[in-house]
Amino acid sequence: MSDLTPDSQQAARFVASPNHGPRRGQGRPDCLILHYTGMSTGEAALDLLVDPVSEVSAHYLIWEDGRIDQLVAENRRAWHAGKALWKGESDLNSASIGIEIVNPGHDGGLPPFPERQIAATIALARDICSRWKMSPERVLAHSDVAPLRKRDPGEAFPWEALWRGGVGHWIPAAPLSGPPLFNHEEEGPPVRALQAMLALYGYGVELSGVYDRHTRAAVTAFQRHFRPERVDGEADASTVATLKALIEGLA
């Protein structure tokens, strides 16, 4: 426990983590990254996030019942994103605010996120985005910025509910239809065009023209966030149409 005052009125208490430092570069956050804790209990996650040996933290932790703890001041660099990339920015810890949402994740069966927890997430995210003037498309999943390493907050996370609550960028996914457009390791201009669209939206994809494992990982991350009905890393017509519509929505 700490006598520090939370930055957001949504937070119930400040539980200080020692795992933070000064923000680098631009010095202010311009994106919000959402995680699940991926541990059996919220108590275990909190213990990890405030343990100096772990060298991990986040700015906020949201419990299943909607309680919110702040662990790191928003003007400090919490250690939550790790090796990551979005729109060419590789120091996402300096460029972001991180929220951990208590949920055991994929290894725990990916149970539903309780309504009270999601309501608290919406309220906190809306407050943060308003105060820091973050664009809707800058509300991201951990898997978006680190697709080769991370799956959280996962395909069961209700991004549509956040969007309806005024948080994030989202559209209804195009209907599932047809087979994959590319074979694994297929090469050619159409693959490069897909990579260019993913990179335009923000994903850290090299324009190699090869449907390699990096591209498949980015497609998988995109599907977890925007087309969760089928998460398989295969760029089908639904995936591409949804990506195109999201890009058009940025104009």
Active site residue 55: no
- Two tokens at 145? 């910025």
Helix-strand-coil split of the chain, %, nearest 5:
35, 15, 55
* Omega within 30 of 0 (cis) for the link into 112: no
**Tally of CB atoms within 10 A around 97:** 28
Of 89, 100, 155, 234, catalytic: 100
20 within 8 A of 79, measured Cβ to Cβ: yes
> How far is Cα 205 from Cα 198, in angstroms, rounded to an integer?
7
Indicate which residues carry an active-site annotation: 100
